[in-house]
Amino acid sequence: MRTDITQTDVGSLNAIKDFAMTPQVLDSPSDQKENYYYDSDFSEYLGYYRTTQLKAPIDTLAIWTIGKGYSVETNRNKVILDKITGWGTDDFIDILYNHFVITKISKIGGMAQIIKNKKGTLINLKMLNPLTMRTVTNAQGNIIAYDKLTSSGGVGKVEKRFKPEEIFHRVNDRLGDENHGTSVVESVKWIIDAKQEAMKDWRRISHRSTVRILYIEEDDKTRMTALKSDYAEAIKKGDLLILPVKAGDAAFADLTLPPVQQFLDWIRYLENLFYQAVRVPKIIATSEGFTEAGGKMGYMTFEPIYTYEQTKLENDIWNQLGIKLTFNKPPSLSNAMQDTEEKNVGQTQAVQPNDVTAGVGE
């Protein structure tokens, strides 16, 4: 049959949709006397933190922020912080670490009950569950109270109402006049999902490739069903399967894996994109595959990030707990890299001052 090019038909590409960003609005307070907010997504976000690679960069950022400890201006404040025990076995660093992680993954933020003695001196901090807490704001958007509920999801009765000064509360990346912060999970959820799918796909393919296909001539459905069951059971238990057939009547074939490089490239791309989204350079979590120069640059780009977190946390502790402290900073590479550049000026400058001078008048 001859093909007639003049009979070409044109179809529609409307089924292929262009990317369109979903518009969002700020969760601003209404004109009510009391506005309530509880983090209904916390359980899902907690799952991402506990079961995916998201735990590593969040924990890393927390360690770099508070892991070197702190210094205080007075012995009195040092004694106060040294005596904080949380639920009984915590120390102040444990509580800050816990609080930092919850602040990053929960939109409602990290909350700890501030416990003081009759003289008004801080004696303890106890972490609270974001699932059973809600913020209470007025029509102007100011926090006027915190409610501890009898059950999660914001549907329980109020078990206890706290005054604002009774809760140590921090939120992550709050925007505008919203009554909550932004969870780190929100910006990386798609990336994590895509990587998990790719890894599960390859794991499934790899596992199934160990199964050998059995070809056999058999027309009887009953015998075929029995043989299928026996073969599956033998594979499951790792037993030897004896077939009552001639050697030429049955044959085995191995399943082969598809090319792995495409899977690896996609997974690596998603992993690099993931670390960009969480603002923790990959070199900070792992040194695999990095040159010395690349490692130094990654380290330096991370310095302003953890320094910013330290500054914010120092300010919140001072404003809410009334204690002035300074977090100790990890070693900086800025001075070392500057010294290296000065020592290797011939390699770091394309044109040297002497080169310009020597060329004048020649």
| pLDDT tens digit sequence for 311-334 | 999 999 999 999 999 999 988 766
Q: CA–CA separation, 191 vs 276, rounded Å?
A: 11
Q: What is the reported pLDDT for 356? A: 47
- For the chain, give every domain's residue range: 25-183+281-350, 189-254
Which band of pLDDT confidence, cut at 50, 70 and 90, is reported for residue 110?
Answer: very high
Do 317 and 323 meet the contact criterion of CB atoms below 8 Å apart? yes
Task: Quote the pLDDT of residue 336.
Answer: 54
Distance CA 327, CA 67 (A): 9
Q: Which residue has the higher pLDDT, 100 or 10?
A: 100
At 344 the pLDDT is: 55
User: Which helix (H) or strand (E) covers residue 143, if one does?
Assistant: strand 143-149
Q: What is the CA radius of gyration of the chain?
A: 31
- Averaged pLDDT, 179-195: 94
Percent of the chain clearing pLDDT 90 (strictly above): 53
pLDDT at 362: 45
Taking residues 198-214, report their average pLDDT.
Answer: 78
Q: What is the pLDDT of residues 57-90, one digit of tens each?
A: 999 999 999 999 999 989 999 999 999 999 999 9
Determine which of 9-13, 21-25, 56-60, 93-97 has the lowest per-residue pLDDT on average.
9-13
